[in-house]
A and B are shown apart, each in its own frame.
Chain A
Amino acid sequence: MVAGEIHQQTGSIGIDRAKRWLDNTTRVSSIYTNTEKVFGDLLHFRWPHGGQSFSFDIGGKLRGGALHDKSFMAEVKAYKYEMDSAREYAEFIAECYVAFQDKPDYCDNLIWLSWAPFQAQSWHKHRTPETIKKHLLHKENIHRVFGTTSVEEAKAKLNEQVVYELTNRLWLLTLCEEQESLVITTDNYNRLRAFMGVDEESR
C-alpha cells in the first residue's frame, strides 16, 4: 500500500467515524460524504482562480431546535495530534469563503471536525474576522481566492460581509475516542426511533 493510499484510507475511516458520531447526536436528518458517487459532486467546488477544485468531506442537513432544516458541511481531520492542522484550517477557511459565495444554501453551518486541537493558545481567536482575513490572505490561498498575489489588491477584493457571515457559521468540533462511544446505545435506539418521529406520518 503506497503512502497516498494509506492517507486516503485514514481519511475515509475518519469520515465514517465523524458521520456515525453526527448521526448519534440525533440532530442530523440527511447526511452524505464526498467518498460517494451519488452525492460526492454536491460537496465539490472550484477555486475561483487557478482551475483547481476542492471538496468538503461531509454534507447534509440538521434537525430539531434552532438548527432544524439548516444545512451543514464538514471537514474531517482524524489526527491523533495537531500534525498539519493549522495549515489545513487556513485552507478550510478559504474553502468556506469560496463555498459560501457559490452556494450559500449549503453553508448554514461549516464544521471543522477533528480529534486534536491546534494552536490552543489562540483557540478563542480561530473564528474571529481578523483570523479569517489572515487565512484568506495567506500565500497559499491568496491567488486561488482573489486571483492576485498582491495583499493590497486582495484586500480590496475581500468581501467583508462574507467574512462576517463565516464568523456566525463556523464550528470547531473536537472529538475524542471516548466521546464517540458516549452516545445512545444500540439497545435504546429502537425507542429513539419514536422519539425522532420515524414512526409518525411522513412530513
Chain B
Amino acid sequence: MNGSIGVALSRALDYNTPDSRIDYLKTTVSNFLHAGDPSMQVRKTEFFNHTFAPDLVLTWPKEGRERLVFLRTNPDPRWLASDLRAISDSHPIILTLDTWNQRRDERPRLELSEAAIEASALVTDPAAIEELTAFESPITSVLSNAVMRGGLGVVDGDSARAVAESAVIGFDGAASLEPEPIRAALSRAEAILNDEQAGRFSRLYQVVWEGHGGAVENFPSARNIVGPMTSRDLALVLSTLDTDDIRFWRRIGHSLTLDQLTALGELQGPLALGLLVEANADRLVARGVRVFGSADPATEQDPAHWSIERNCLVLRGIGWTAFFAPRSTDLPAYDSRRGIPVESLVSAIRDLGVRMTEVKVKQNSFAISIEAVGAADVVDSPDFGQLASRGGSIANSAAIAMTSGRNLIADFITGTATGHTNATFTIRELGPAAIKLLLQLGERETSDLTARMRRESNGEIVQPPLWE
C-alpha cells in the first residue's frame, strides 16, 4: 500500500487523538471515493469501526441508490467474515484500512471471499481503490463506479489491477472489433460485479462494438445484456466514439432525456453529442429555449454546434447562443433585448409556414395586442396589416401554432420561447422555429438546422432503454 491513498492514510498516524485520527481517515477515504465517482454523495456517520453501524453512507441521488461502507481497522479475514454475517443483508462495502499479509493459510480468505460473493458484499482495501482509479482511462473510471455500486467478493490490489488492465485492453478490443480481449475483460469484471453492474459494463462494450461497425450477433458475450447505464457511461460513449452512423446514435438515444444529457455537466466539442442530439431530436423534450447575442447577416454562418453548459443543452452559432432546458427554472438569466420590427416578424412567420395566434406590438406610446379567434391567422387581420404597413412598429412577443397543435410563445424582450403553462416541445419542433423567430436567422441557416434534425434512420432497430 504505497500509492496516494496509502500515503494519505499513513499520515493518519500523525493525528494523536482518536477523534482527529478517525475524522482524518473518514475524510480521506470519502474524498478518494468521491473523486472516483463525482455523481456519488458520501456522508460520514458518527460511528467508527462498529460491527453493524456504517462509517460512511454512499448515495447516488439521481439513481435512488445507497450503499453502506464499513471501515475496518483489522484486516484479519476471520474477523471480517464474522462482521459480514451481521451486515450481509445490506450488501455493503467493507473497506479495510490495512492490508492482510499473513498468507500462510489461504483458507480464511477463501471462505471470506465465498461469503462476500454470496452476500453481494464487497470486501476491499485502499490498494484496490488505488488500482481501480490509477489508470487515467475512462473505462476504468466506469469500472470503479460499477464496483462502488455493485462490486462483490474480496477485491485486493492485485485482483483490482488485473481487472482494470483487462478492462483497458478489452475496451481497445471493442473499438477494433477483436473479440478475445473483450471476452477476457468481461469475464474478469463479471467476477467482481453483481448482475446489474456486470450488465451495464457489458452493454458499454457492446455499444462501442456496434459503434465501430461490429454486428450485434457477433458480440462476444453470451450474457443477456440488461441493465441501464448512467450519465458517466454516456459521457464515455460520447468521448470515445466518433462514428457518424446516424442509425447507431438513434439506437443509443432510444429513451434518452434532456435531463440525462444535461447531467453530463459541462461538455464542449464532441461531434458525437451533436449526432446524438440530432438523431434523437424528435425524442428529446424541452420546456423552452432562450437565446443570447445575434446573428450577423453579413457573416457566413458555419453550422451551429452543440454543447452542454450551465445545465442546458446549448446550440452555438457565430455571434449567438441558444440554451434548451428541461425546465423554465433551468434557463439562464436573460439579457434584455429589443423587440423585432413587425415586417421581420411577418417574414419569419411566412418562412416558417405557421399561423400566428397572438402578437403584442408596441408603437410609440401604445401597446396593442391582437389575438386570433378560432383558426384565424393574426397576419391576416386588417388591424395587424395596418400596423405592418405603417412601419416603425415593434413586436414584443408573438405566439405561433406549432404542428403539434400547441402554441409557442416567442418573447423577444427576454429572447425566450416557451409554451403555455407546462407545455413541452421536442428539440426538432422547438429548435428551428424558435431560433428563426428569436434570432431572425436567414432561411439558409435554419434550413440546414432543420435538415440536420430530420435525418431519419431506415429500418429502426427496437432496443430496450439504454439509459437510466
Tell me, in angstroms, the Cα distance from A198 to B46 when the chains sit together. Answer: 8
Kindly identify, within residues 170 to 203 of chain A, every residue whose CB is under 8 Å from any CB belonging to chain B.
Answer: 186-187, 189-190, 192-193, 196-199, 201-203
**Which residues from A are CB-within-8-Å of B90?**
190
Tell me, in angstroms, the Cα distance from A203 to B46 when the chains sit together. Answer: 7
Taking Cβ atoms with an 8 Å cutoff, the residues of A that contact B are 12, 16, 19-20, 23-24, 28-33, 35-39, 41-42, 59-61, 63, 71, 105-106, 186-187, 189-190, 192-193, 196-199, 201-203
**Which residues from A are CB-within-8-Å of B85?**
186
Kindly identify, within residues 1 to 48 of chain B, every residue whose CB is under 8 Å from any CB belonging to chain A.
Answer: 9, 12-13, 16-19, 21-22, 25, 43-48
> Is A23 in contact with B51, judged by CB distance below 8 angstroms?
yes
> Is A196 in contact with B48, judged by CB distance below 8 angstroms?
no
> Is A20 in contact with B82, judged by CB distance below 8 angstroms?
yes
Binds A, one of B52-60, B141-149, B390-398: B52-60
> Is A33 in contact with B48, judged by CB distance below 8 angstroms?
no
> Is A196 in contact with B18, judged by CB distance below 8 angstroms?
no
B195 on interface, CB distance cutoff 8 Å: no
Instruction: List 29 A–B pairs whose Cβ atoms lie within 8 Å, in order of A's numbering.
Output: A23-B50, A24-B51, A29-B47, A30-B18, A30-B22, A30-B47, A30-B48, A30-B50, A31-B50, A32-B18, A32-B48, A32-B49, A32-B73, A36-B98, A38-B12, A39-B73, A42-B16, A59-B18, A60-B49, A61-B19, A106-B18, A186-B85, A190-B89, A196-B47, A196-B53, A198-B53, A198-B54, A199-B57, A202-B44
Count residues on chain B whose CB falls below 8 Å from chain A CBs: 35
**Which residues from B are CB-within-8-Å of A36?**
73-74, 98
> Is A39 in contact with B18, judged by CB distance below 8 angstroms?
yes
- Nearest A residue (CB) for B98: A37
Tell me, in angstroms, the Cα distance from A201 to B57 when the chains sit together. Answer: 10
Task: Give chain A's interface secondary structure class.
Answer: mixed
CB distance from B203 to the nearest CB of A (A): 31
Taking Cβ atoms with an 8 Å cutoff, the residues of B that contact A are 9, 12-13, 16-19, 21-22, 25, 43-54, 57, 73-74, 76, 79, 82, 85-87, 89-90, 97-98
Tell me, in angstroms, the Cα distance from A59 to B52 when the chains sit together. Answer: 17
* Beyond A30-B22, A193-B53, 7 extra complex contacts between A and B, CB < 8 Å: A20-B82, A29-B47, A30-B47, A33-B74, A36-B98, A198-B47, A198-B54
Q: Of A38, A63, A190, which is within 8 A of B98 by CB?
A: A38
Known contacts A30-B47, A202-B44; A16 and B18 CB within 8 A of each other? no
> Is B73 in contact with A20, judged by CB distance below 8 angstroms?
no
> Is A71 in contact with B18, judged by CB distance below 8 angstroms?
yes
Among B18, B43, B98, find the residue whose CB has the most chain A CB atoms closer than 10 A: B18
CB distance from A198 to the nearest CB of B (A): 5
> Is B87 in contact with A31, judged by CB distance below 8 angstroms?
no
> Is B46 in contact with A20, judged by CB distance below 8 angstroms?
no
Tell me, in angstroms, the Cα distance from A31 to B48 when the chains sit together. Answer: 6
